[in-house]
Amino acid sequence: MLAFDRCDRYDRFARLAARLLNTPTALVSLVGPDRQVFLGAVGLPEPWASQRETPLSHSVCRHVVTNESPLVLEDVRRHPLLSESAAVRDLDLVAYLGTPLRSPDGTVLGALCTIDRVPRSWTDEEVEALADLAVTLTDEFALWETAETLKEPKAQLDAEKRALVAQAERTRTLADAFALQTIDDVDALSDIVDRLRGLLGLDIGIVSRITPSKDRYEVVACAVPDGVEMGAGDVFAFGQTYCSITLHYGDVLAIDHMAGGEHSRHPCYEAFGLEAYIGAPIHVAGSVWGTVNFSSPTPQTPHFTEADRDLVRLAARWIGGLVTASGLASDRAEAERLADVQGATLGLVQRALPDALVVADPERRIQSVNPAFSRLFGLEPADVVGHRTAVLYADPSGFAQTGHSRFNASAGLSLDPYEVEYRRADGTVFTGETVGSPVRDSDGRLVGYVGLIRDVSKRREMEDELYHQAHHDALTGLPNRALFTARLEVAVERTRRGEGAYAVLFLDLDRFKTVNDTLGHTVGDRLLQEVAGRLVRAARPADTVARLGGDEFAILLEGVGEPDAAEHVAARVQDALAPPVQIDEHACTTGASVGVVVGRPDHDTADSVLMEADLAMYAAKGEGRGRAATFRPGTHTALEQRLRLELDLPAAVERGELRVAYQPVVQLSDGALAGFEALVRWDHPALGLLYPDAFIDAAEKGGEIVSVDRWVLREACRQMTEWERALADRGERDSFLLLNVNCTGRDLLESSYADAVGNLEEDLGFAPRRLLLEITESLLMEDPDAVATVLRRLQRGGVRFCLDDFGTGYSSLATLHALPVDRIKVDRSFVTDMDECTRNRELVRTVVELGHILGKSIVAEGIEKPEHLAGLQAMGCQFGQGYLFSKPLWPEDVASLIAAGEPPWQALWTAD
């Protein structure tokens, strides 16, 4: 099983599945031999929402993996094997639709599923839509897995770069050291020691002189951290220093962890407490003159290497040469001998380097090269010494460019690698990663240049391959979504500046899922490859043809700025896809629905262009298969606005954009105020005040209807409690006002809904007996048993129920009689025309009489004329609401209404 962590990108796919299928819950999961691992989820209740995995015995998705095909269940509770599953019980799982998630080789890894809490008949289009989304998700799996597999070689390449820079720094430091002519320049010597300790990763570096009697240790030069009291001329007892151990060994002594070895018993450990140490004796005229050593109070991690030992050994030999050259040794012959040792040491360094080394004079004429250079270029020193380094370049302009930027008298130290195309003796060209820098003497004068060259051709090829894999579709070889989006962003920016034109074709293949499901993924993959080839041949060489994922493709048409031209290309593409594709013995027919967008200056991002192309594609698909549609601003306004509202709605509650208006409910017998109906409004910052019919559909499709319902419920109850206190303060303690709040089926059937209602009294002081929840006939028909269970639980807490818009649905008398409905609301469509339409008037009369028989009160909405009021009074209708009495009021207007005592519509009764 692949080891993917749960993260936002999988949650986004789950939310997309829930939105696409209009369900409250969706899961992205991997299924193994003994467990189901959740990668992404939306709508899971606790404790499932915080779980990482679940035993396989609790899983419904395992049947999708076992059968390697979609699992479609209208009502899981009727399934003999699944009805007792813990998932069915705990998740309130009723309807289930799941489809396999496959790896690039077709292996089923897990499932993408969506869950509803009411029985549901899944359509073929919904099954196909979820399968298409699963293919897109599987492509993402492949991309993420590829990215993970590429990390290791990338890290290795980075490590090689760092090693090259470190090697160059060592060479540079030694080159500067050899330029120092005298040990009397303490500051210059200390600077070299400081750079050496940095290369070794240690805190303290010291060059010391030991007296002939070997009883004192005198500091000649040092580099120490701030706060450490040490400087040139300081003297220590030699027997208690680490130098005494160094002289005992006679060569480089390296100790990674003093406390972990035999030297922890030496007096120097107790005296100084330093854990890591590396040092070497300095010999002059055959005798020990002193030591060069480096140390740190913490153990050395990783351990000292042979390269570290060589560096310290060479430093000791070089200092010995300085001592001789400074006149501190009387034997001139010995001084000359030590100078020869220095030269031999430098030669040793050059020969030991694995990379090509080039030493040049200030005019960039080659002075020397090492053996690695000859192996890399196929040239001997005699072939190049005395020539300018231009002879090494494949392109002479490269020599001029690097000479201007790096190899000039004013250039500073630079160890940043750069790449140059070089030419070997046999004429072949290779890419060389180069680190080069000027070399200066102690007075800052330029004395030459030193450079290291490494052949990185194979690494360059690997990097190019990594880039190709990250930006191209593995199956078709076409650019992927990332590369397409990057190129589209460039086109968008050019058009915004008025410097170019472009168009985008967004293609969704028709009937591809049928081929994939009936003939298998191998045939489906070959069909996608053939489609990719046809699209490339139908497009121009300058156009970008990309596979965005699944069976979706896109074409970026450069220089196309007219709809007719773009539509002509779309027709050519559809003609190219029309002929059947012969795959073995199968003749596969496919086509494409094409959305066309022509770039405009008001496009600000590639995503905005692709969204319009997607909208146009769906418009084309709605007209039938094999169609094309061009996006024109204003032609898809309704769909655009719904999508915009879906995106804006989640933050509307947090930003305080939702408001509640209250329409009075009047007692028709005497005109008394009986209560209010709470009606939600959205004060959208760009679109103004929106009524429910403008955004409730978007809330349901976007999965935000529950949060909107809950906010309206709590806000209305809070406001109602405030008004009740105002009535009590006026002495009207017997006033009993009901609050009508609309409740959607999605919210009512949420497991937490009953608790949310029950907490109103404790949280807000609002008595549930004052709450009248309005439910629709359609909700009663979805799942009468589940609805009845929730209603009875709420009824036991004192809540009452009103059946909204009665007469527009199909609820039966038996259902109406069985459910705990207290009030029936007659739909406004019947009331509005009842004085002119006999059929509507008789229908209202029938509903009122039916309510009397069943013992339920009746409220009529849409009362706009005195004739409506008179007719309803004559029929015995108890309650009503409408513009004849009052339009919906904002809270401040309701407060004024209550404070006035007698409502303004009371005149309709007193006039009699």
What is the CATH superfamily name and number for domain 654-898? Answer: EAL domain (3.20.20.450)
Which 8-state DSSP code applies to residue 864?
Answer: -
714/819 Cα distance (integer angstroms): 25
pLDDT value, residue 319: 82
**In this structure, what token pair is assigned to residue 524?**
């489906």
Q: Is the pLDDT of residue 211 over 90?
A: no
Fold held by 180-348: Beta-Lactamase (3.30.450)
Mean pLDDT of 243-267: 80
One-letter amino acid of 205: G
187/180 Cα distance (integer angstroms): 11
Instruction: Say which range, 490-504, 588-602, 640-654, 712-726, has the weakest mean pLDDT.
Output: 640-654
State yes or no: cis peptide before 479, omega within 30 of 0. no
pLDDT value, residue 174: 54
3-state class of 291 per DSSP? strand
Mean pLDDT of 814-836: 81
Q: Is the pLDDT of residue 691 over 60?
A: yes
Choose between 361 and 5: higher pLDDT.
Answer: 361
Q: Is the pLDDT of residue 113 over 80?
A: yes
Instruction: Say which range, 79-88, 177-186, 617-626, has the weakest mean pLDDT.
Output: 177-186
pLDDT value, residue 292: 93
Query: If you average pLDDT over every residue of the chain, what do you get?
Result: 82
Look at domain 473-633 and name its CATH class: alpha beta
Q: Which tens digit of pLDDT belongs to each residue from 418-458?
A: 888 999 999 999 988 888 878 887 677 888 888 889 998 88
Q: Tell me the Ramachandran region of residue 603: left when phi exceeds 0, alpha when psi lies from -120 to 50, beta otherwise.
A: beta
Instruction: Say which range, 465-479, 657-671, 688-702, 880-894, has the weakest mean pLDDT.
Output: 688-702
Q: Is the pLDDT of residue 713 over 70?
A: yes
Choose between 313 and 99: higher pLDDT.
Answer: 99
pLDDT value, residue 3: 43
Find, among 160, 179, 95, 96, the residue nearest to 782 by Cα: 95
pLDDT value, residue 463: 79
Fold held by 353-461: Beta-Lactamase (3.30.450)
528/375 Cα distance (integer angstroms): 48
- Confidence class of residue 147 from pLDDT cuts 50, 70 and 90? very low
What DSSP line would sit under 654-694, residue for residue?
TTT-EEEEEEEEEETTT--EEEEEEEEEEEETTTEEE-HHH
- Backbone φ, ψ for residue 339 (5° rounding): -60, -40
Instruction: Say which range, 27-41, 166-180, 193-207, 508-522, has the weakest mean pLDDT.
Output: 166-180
Cβ neighbourhood burial of 382 (10 Å; 0-12, 13-18, 19+):
exposed
Percent of the chain with pLDDT over 90: 29
215 contacts 238 by C-beta, under 8 angstroms: yes
Q: Which tens digit of pLDDT belongs to each residue from 277-320?
A: 999 998 887 778 889 999 998 888 878 888 788 888 878 887 88
Q: Is the pLDDT of residue 411 over 70?
A: no
Q: Is the pLDDT of residue 244 over 90?
A: no
Fold held by 8-138: Beta-Lactamase (3.30.450)
Instruction: Say which range, 16-30, 321-335, 633-647, has the weakest mean pLDDT.
Output: 321-335
pLDDT value, residue 343: 56
777/42 Cα distance (integer angstroms): 28
317 contacts 337 by C-beta, under 8 angstroms: no
601/137 Cα distance (integer angstroms): 33
**In this structure, what token pair is assigned to residue 236?**
């220590």
- Spell out the SS3 assignment of 236-290: EEHHHCHHHHHHHHCCCEEECCHHHCHHHHCHHHHHHCCCEEEEEEEEECCEEEE
Residue with tokens 């589940």: 786
Mean pLDDT of 819-832: 87
Q: Is the pLDDT of residue 543 over 90?
A: yes
pLDDT value, residue 467: 82
856/877 Cα distance (integer angstroms): 11
353-461 with 654-898: one CATH topology? no
One-letter amino acid of 776: T
- Confidence class of residue 570 from pLDDT cuts 50, 70 and 90? very high
Q: Is the pLDDT of residue 336 over 70?
A: no
Q: Is the pLDDT of residue 699 over 90?
A: no
**In this structure, what token pair is assigned to residue 764?**
């807000």
Q: Is the pLDDT of residue 140 over 60?
A: yes
Q: Which tens digit of pLDDT belongs to each residue from 348-407?
A: 666 767 889 898 888 888 888 889 999 999 999 888 888 888 889 988 776 666 655 555
Q: Is the pLDDT of residue 637 over 70?
A: no
The domains of the chain are located at 8-138, 180-348, 353-461, 473-633, 654-898
Helix or strand holding residue 372 (H, E): helix 371-377
591-598 and 628-630 as β-strands: parallel, antiparallel, unpaired? parallel
3-state class of 485 per DSSP? helix
pLDDT value, residue 67: 83
Choose between 753 and 84: higher pLDDT.
Answer: 753
Q: Is the pLDDT of residue 557 over 90?
A: yes
Mean pLDDT of 819-841: 86
Instruction: Say which range, 132-146, 165-179, 296-310, 678-692, has the weakest mean pLDDT.
Output: 165-179
446 contacts 76 by C-beta, under 8 angstroms: no
- How many C-beta atoms surround the C-beta of residue 235 within 10 A? 12
Mean pLDDT of 73-86: 78
Q: Is the pLDDT of residue 249 over 80?
A: no
896 contacts 861 by C-beta, under 8 angstroms: no
Instruction: Spell out the residues 6+ positions from residue 751 whose beta carbon is closer than 8 angstroms to its own.
Output: 45, 92
Terminal CA-to-CA distance of the chain, rounded, Å? 81
pLDDT value, residue 4: 46
With both helix axes pointing from N to C terminus, report the angle between 457-471 and 481-496 in degrees, rounded to the nearest 10.
80
145/103 Cα distance (integer angstroms): 10
Q: Is the pLDDT of residue 335 over 50?
A: no
pTM of the predicted model as reported, rounded to 2 decimal places: 0.42
Instruction: Say which range, 54-58, 132-136, 624-628, 858-862, has the weakest mean pLDDT.
Output: 54-58
Residue with tokens 């209560």: 675
- Backbone φ, ψ for residue 509 (5° rounding): -70, 140
- 677-682 CB contacts, 8 Å cutoff, 24+ apart: 677/740, 677/741, 677/742, 677/774, 677/881, 677/888, 678/712, 678/715, 678/716, 678/739, 678/740, 678/741, 678/742, 679/742, 679/888, 680/708, 680/712, 680/742, 682/649, 682/652, 682/657, 682/658
Mean pLDDT of 193-215: 82
3-state class of 850 per DSSP? helix
189/208 Cα distance (integer angstroms): 12
pLDDT value, residue 479: 94
